[in-house]
Amino acid sequence: MDASQVSQITDMMYALRNPAGLPTYPIIFIGLSVLTFALHILFVQLMLGTSAITLIGAFSQNAYWRRLGAAMLEVAKVSVSVAIVIGVAPLLFVQVVYDPHWYTSNVLSADWVIGFIIFLILGYWAMYYYYFVNGANQDKSATPKARWSMLLSLALMLLVGFIMHSLTSQILHPELWKSWYLQQNGMLDYTGDKLHEWNLWRYAFFISLSIPVAGGMLVTYRRFKSVRSDADHAYLNWAAEVGKKWIKVGSVISTALYVGWMMTLPETAGNFATSLWGILAGVMVLFYAIWAQVRLKGEARFCSYMALPVALVIGLIVATSREILRYDILNGFFHYNFWDYKIVFDWYSTGLFFLTFAIVGGVVLSYFLTIAWKAGQTVGVYTPSAFVNKLGTLSIWIVVLWVVQFFIVGFYVWAR
């Protein structure tokens, strides 16, 4: 590509940029995008990994695997909801800062973007179908029914992830957008029925991290359940040993796939693969295996609870590196710089966002997590304390207040 071609592509991207500008500094959007992507992908990996354990349990004759499969299904069905909800956040941020890229990529593959929702709903239903037909009160050591539905669920989730991966990959190739619109006969292709770009190393890398993340979940599971008076320690210790193995083996597999990804980066990425961030992300993934080897010996009463937070910190480093790669390609090669986005300050919406995050999210989430935590560690029926009940009432009031201010401000702006 010569300089004039690159400059045409730069102009094209700037022409597609939203002239309305951003309500606050672009770096805030990028920061939140990295943070929320790391959370999204952690729950995606937790969902995929625990779904895989559910499937191993469903097809195994081993009583421990059967039991573990049933227990991990509980984690999978919560994780899929969290992954979806948290997935919305990076979607909002990426479409604000990289709007020319995100929308072009979406329009080029519009059928797949719509299909994404349908596949996701079907995958979600299939998981719940499996859950309901193998109801909570049934014998967990019996062969589960409708195993096909759990298989279908995992396959659909992988497809959904692949669509996301492809949309993200298409963003990185503005030099190809026009050729993707043109058919062989010179006509424009408006169908949006193709996915045009992907990198199987990159996709496999993000998916493979499900193995160590699920391993981290198993170690946490042992620690969490071991305090109950009815705990079966032999079973829980076995589960934690499986978890440690998954962290170690999975991290090594993921590191190998990461190297494959770095070796297949497009030329437009320059020398990202050998840069500090390019190397750091891979090293940190491998570090998880070393951390597990050193810190998860024996019962590891404290460090067991650290297994998932450590995975999140590593995920944050990977997410940062992934974002720097995008910046290196789009700014470094194609001279599209999100830093020069026009800013039209809107302090109310920025303030509302952070307050919602901190107060609504903080209080309501604390309530839900407290209830879930206590219920999981209680034998029989859990009765919340007066304090937890107050937290519940406060959560309801905070949500009500939020909705009221939403309408008041909305009507005020509308009436002006």
Structure tokens that stand for 394 in this block: 């406060």
Stretch that binds ligand HEM, among 83-91, 243-251, 299-307, 386-394 (CB under 6 A): 83-91
Between 96 and 296, name the residue whose CB sits nearer to ligand HEM. 96
Compare residues 103 and 224 and give the one whose CB is closer to ligand HEM. 103
Q: Which of 13, 22, 30, 37 binds ligand HEM (CB under 6 A)?
A: 37
- The correct pick among 66, 77, 202, 223 for binding ligand HEM (CB under 6 A) is 202
Instruction: Write the CB contacts of 132 (distance below 8 Å, at least 6 apart in sequence).
Output: none
Which residues have C-beta within 8 Å of that of residue 79, sequence separation ≥ 6? Answer: 43, 44, 46, 47, 50
The residue among 40 and 66 lying less far from ligand HEM, judged by its C-beta, is: 40
Tokens representing 106 are 């979406």
Between 96 and 157, CB nearer to ligand HEM: 157
| Shortest Å, Cβ 175 to ligand HEM | 18
- Cα–Cα dist 245/42, whole Å: 19
Q: How far apart are alpha carbons 378 and 59 in whole angstroms?
A: 30
Shortest distance in whole angstroms from residue 342 CB to ligand HEM: 22
Q: Does 168 bind ligand HEM (CB under 6 A)?
A: yes
What minimum distance in Å lies between the beta carbon of 44 and ligand HEM? 4
94 binds ligand HEM (CB under 6 A): yes
Tokens of 348: 């109310």
Cα 293 to Cα 283: distance, rounded to the nearest angstrom:
15
Q: Which residues contact 344 (CB under 8 A, 6 or more apart)?
A: 20, 21, 22, 23
Tokens standing for residue 178? 């026009």
**SS3 state of residue 17:** coil
Given candidates 49, 57, 69, 161, which one binds ligand HEM under the rule CB under 6 A? 161
Q: Which long-range contacts (CB under 8 A, 24 or more apart) does 366-372 make?
A: 366/391, 367/391, 367/392, 367/394, 367/395
Q: How far is the CB of 329 from ligand HEM (least distance, A)?
A: 12
Q: How far is the CB of 42 from ligand HEM (least distance, A)?
A: 11
Regarding 78 and contact with ligand HEM (CB under 6 A), the answer is no
Tokens representing 113 are: 């973007």
Degrees to nearest 5, angle at CA 215 with 82 and 276: 85
46, 52, 157, 242: residue in contact with ligand HEM (rule CB under 6 A): 157
Give the residue with the Cβ less far from ligand HEM, 35 or 84.
84
Return the residue of 150, 160, 273, 289 that touches ligand HEM, per CB under 6 A: 160
Among the candidate windows 38-46, 239-247, 294-302, 375-383, which touches ligand HEM by CB under 6 A?
Answer: 38-46
**Of 207, 210, 239, which is closest to residue 222 (Cα–Cα)?**
239
Q: How many CA atoms lie within 13 A of 111 on its CB side?
A: 8
- Residue 127 CB contacts under 8 Å (≥ 6 apart), including other chains: 51, 73, 76, 77, 80, 149, 150, 153
Residues 108-147 that bind ligand HEM (CB under 6 A): 120
Reduced to 3 states (helix: H, G, I; strand: E, B; else coil), residue 322 is helix
Nearer to ligand HEM, 68 or 207 (CB): 207
173 counts as binding ligand HEM under rule CB under 6 A: no
Closest approach of Cβ 34 to ligand HEM, in Å?
Answer: 9
Per rule CB under 6 A, count of chain residues that contact ligand HEM = 24
3-class SS of residue 60: coil
Of 296, 320, 315, 298, residue with least CA distance to 306? 296
Min dist. Cβ of residue 288 to ligand HEM (A)? 18
Shortest distance in whole angstroms from residue 88 CB to ligand HEM = 4
- Exactly one of 91, 113, 231, 286 binds ligand HEM (CB under 6 A); which one? 91
From the list 37-45, 52-60, 147-155, 281-289, the region that binds ligand HEM by CB under 6 A is 37-45
**Contacting residue, 165, 173, 225, 244, with ligand HEM by CB under 6 A:** 165
- Cα–Cα–Cα angle for 335, 337, 342, nearest 5°? 135
Instruction: Work out which of 38, 42, 44, 253 binds ligand HEM, going by CB under 6 A.
Output: 44
**In the complex, which residues of this chain contact ligand HEM (CB under 6 A)?**
37, 40-41, 44, 80, 83-84, 87-88, 90-91, 94, 120, 157, 160-161, 164-165, 168, 171, 202-203, 206, 322
